[in-house]
Structure 1
Amino acid sequence: MFNKILALLLGTLLLNGCQSAFGPNALQNTHPAYNQAIAQSLNEQMLLNLVRLRYRDRPYYLRVGSVTASLAFDSNIGIGSELDLGPGGNIIQPNLGIGYSDKPTLSFQPLQGEDFLKSVLSSISFDALLVMTQSGWSIERVFGLCVERINDAFNAPSASGPTPAMEPEFRNFKKAMKLMRELQLSHGIEIGPDENNRLNILFKATAENRTKIAELSNFLGFQKPQHEQTLLIRLDNNFLNTDRNVLKIRPRSIVSVLFYLSQQVDIPNQHIEAGLVNVTQRRAGGPFNWGETPAGEFFRIRFSEDYPDSAFLTVPYRGHWFYIADNDLESKSTFMLLSQLFNLQAGQSRYTGPTLTLPVR
């Protein structure tokens, strides 16, 4: 009778252990860990590629195709007895063993090929710019990263590739974006499609905003509002159009945005002296500070010889640690915007090449 009760208790323990290791509890225990690990890995990949571009090294991208987790459950129950001639003889000794193992398999897909190159080399669409500005992002940040030119206001077009030798043109564009941001905060502008599905900017030339709009028109070259009225300006990418009621916009591609942001990577002096990077020069002489550009106001990658303690994201490269500071909220926001834009563009590509599958031990 005692043996039956003991076996029943052992079976109950095994059942409880099985329920805690599998089913909803297994999902609850493993899903957050996989989510965190994959997100961290992709973020580090993006940061590493920005640093690579600064050194003119080739970037490379892997996409996590799938994660397969296989849970194995092992158990054993045993009841043994031995003869003891002393007091309390015939001792019954139970043996119990419970264990399970988690064996995930990760599949990686390299992002490459014609389809991927087309997606990242194509200009960011007006629709994407509209979605970003209407979803709460600052127009100064979105346009400061993603737009290379508006009419005759240039946003460092030479930074859309490897580091240029001379400082770029950007100051009028930067002033214009600050005015656009002020108008956005005061609800003085609206961006949206018309009945023909063409994008337009509607300026609300109220007494409060008329001076800002007039100043903005000087930088961007569109017609000034004469009275308190709304002013509708069409957005176009045809720079042969000379209509003053049209804002000609040239968006960057994702690759151009990556190159532009890579200029914001701080470089160790020994790497500069060794000629590992190009140093942009001011026209008046001396090194140019990329932090002055529209992108430089919102993004910076620092370096350290030792592992930084207060870092949001860190990668080792060329004997140093490159990182985004955890309290640098502007850089963290810009990095989030970059990730969304990259996923929006590169996510459209379909990969048909070989897949790298690795078991994780």
Structure 2
Amino acid sequence: MKGLSFAALGLAALCVALAGCMSIGPGTVERDRLDYSAAVGDSWKSQMLLNLVKLRYGDAPVFLDVGQIVAGYSFPRSLGAVAAVNQTDGAPVINSSVGLSAGATFNDSPTVTYAPMTGERFARSLMTPIPPSVILNIIQAGNPVEEVFRTSVQSVNGVDNRRVGRLFVRRANPEFYALLPNLERLQSSGDIGMRVRQEGGEAQLQMIFRPRTAAAEESARRNVATILGLDPEAREYQVSYGTVAGSDREIALLTRSIYEILVDIASFISVPEAHVAERRVRPTAEGDIGPSGAIPPLIRIASSAQQPADAFVAVPYQGYWFYIDNRDIPSKQVFSSIMFLFTFVETRSHEAAPILTIPTTR
């Protein structure tokens, strides 16, 4: 009996020792990293779509940045054992008792900090046109020329893209839509590229066409030269920011700011007829006309009185749901590109971020 009691005590002591060595931290890394990444991504999509809808309705957009995420876990455990041995003098009987106790609690207390995107620096960055070098780098990375130019370029050598203001929507020049397929033909064949040359201590951005191309690509290159008023025999053209080129060997890109891009994308949103009748919002403008007829919208953002069943992203606003269908691949790609372009906006100020102190216990 006494041997049994001491064995139980030894077992309890071993359990306590093992419990003190166990850790729940490493096992949460993979799960938490993926879960928080997905949650932040989904919230960014919802925030972007909601702000597009608000711009469509003349409301002020508000952007909130996720500053820090601290996932805190605690798992206090306790194991105890008590034993009593009583021996009567002169008697062979031993009365003993053994008691074991255990307890555990789990606490999950994540801390998330948010920072509103405000201030002069953020506003200035939001309103500053995207540099032409960034536009060409995005194209060089494989993004379709048509998508990049329709979203981010207002005009090329005076050939205007669709322009959206607070009180108007002006259609693009038909030549703008004639230009895009020719540029895409050269992009897909790899016959167009860019180069940065240093001249006089300044970086000069150039668009380059290969000297030897197939007949179809050569025809596309000459079409580009004709539409933009370029020297058809040249193979290198200087790229600059502006409305009008200074010579027939220069390509002037008038690029848009992030704010202009958001306003343009918001204009494609299909709003409920009831809201138009109630004068809450202006009706959706008619589409552009190109050389071959009507131009499809850049992105399709629909509205519904009921929450959509299969949406890539959906948000409620003024009694309706606004969403992008999960099967609409072109709209999903354009929306994702807009979110990528938004990363070029400077959101941080010179002020130091608040320090988050996490207490620790032993």
2:73 to 65, 71, 74: 71
Residue 6 in structure 1 maps to residue 19 in structure 2: no
Find the residue that maps to 1:106 and give its secondary structure. Answer: strand
Q: Which residue number corresponds to residue 229 of structure 2?
A: 221
2:241 to 231, 237, 260: 237
Deviations 1:3-62 (A, max 9, x none): 22431453266347x42x22x213223222221111211121111101111111100001
Deviations 1:120-168 (A, max 9, x none): 10000122112211222112211221000011211112x1x3361x542
Aligned pairs for 1:71-150 (under 5 A) are 71-79=73-81, 94-150=100-156
Range moving further from structure 2, 180-189 or 331-340:
331-340
Aligned pairs for 1:26-41 (under 5 A) are 26-41=28-43
Closer, same or farther: CA 126–240 of 1 in aligned 2, 3 Å: closer
Counterpart contact for 2:193–2:209, Cα < 8 Å: yes
Counterpart contact for 1:111–1:351, Cα < 8 Å: no
Closer, same or farther: CA 125–3 of 1 in aligned 2, 3 Å: same
Counterpart contact for 1:152–1:221, Cα < 8 Å: no
1:260 to 248, 259, 264: 264
Q: Which residue number corresponds to residue 92 of structure 2?
A: none
Deviations 1:77-99 (A, max 9, x none): 244789xxxxxx98856432222
Counterpart contact for 2:9–2:83, Cα < 8 Å: no
Separation (CA, whole Å) in 1 of partners of 2:329 and 2:144: 14
Closer, same or farther: CA 304–130 of 1 in aligned 2, 3 Å: same
Aligned pairs for 1:174-185 (under 5 A) are 174-185=177-188
1:62 to 43, 60, 64: 64
Counterpart contact for 2:76–2:105, Cα < 8 Å: yes
Q: Which residue number corresponds to residue 303 of structure 2?
A: 303
Residue 193 (structure 1) shift = 1.7
Residue 250 in structure 1 maps to residue 254 in structure 2: yes
Q: Which runs of 5+ in 2 are unaligned?
A: 1-5, 85-94
Overall identity of the aligned pairs, in %: 25
Aligned pairs for 1:159-174 (under 5 A) are 159=164, 161-162=165-166, 164=168, 166-174=169-177
Q: Which residue number corresponds to residue 288 of structure 1?
A: 286
Separation (CA, whole Å) in 1 of partners of 2:98 and 2:323: 61
Closer, same or farther: CA 5–353 of 1 in aligned 2, 3 Å: closer
Counterpart contact for 1:109–1:354, Cα < 8 Å: no
Q: Which runs of 5+ in 1 are unaligned?
A: 83-88, 281-286
Counterpart contact for 2:271–2:283, Cα < 8 Å: no
Separation (CA, whole Å) in 1 of partners of 2:296 and 2:61: 21
Residue 298 (structure 1) shift = 3.9
Q: TM-score when scaled to structure 2?
A: 0.83
Alpha-carbon RMSD across the aligned residues, in angstroms, is 3.0
Q: Which residue number corresponds to residue 322 of structure 1?
A: 322
Closer, same or farther: CA 316–46 of 1 in aligned 2, 3 Å: same
Counterpart contact for 1:222–1:246, Cα < 8 Å: yes
Deviations 1:313-355 (A, max 9, x none): 11111111111111222122112211111112234x4264997
Separation (CA, whole Å) in 1 of partners of 2:132 and 2:245: 17
Separation (CA, whole Å) in 1 of partners of 2:246 and 2:82: 95
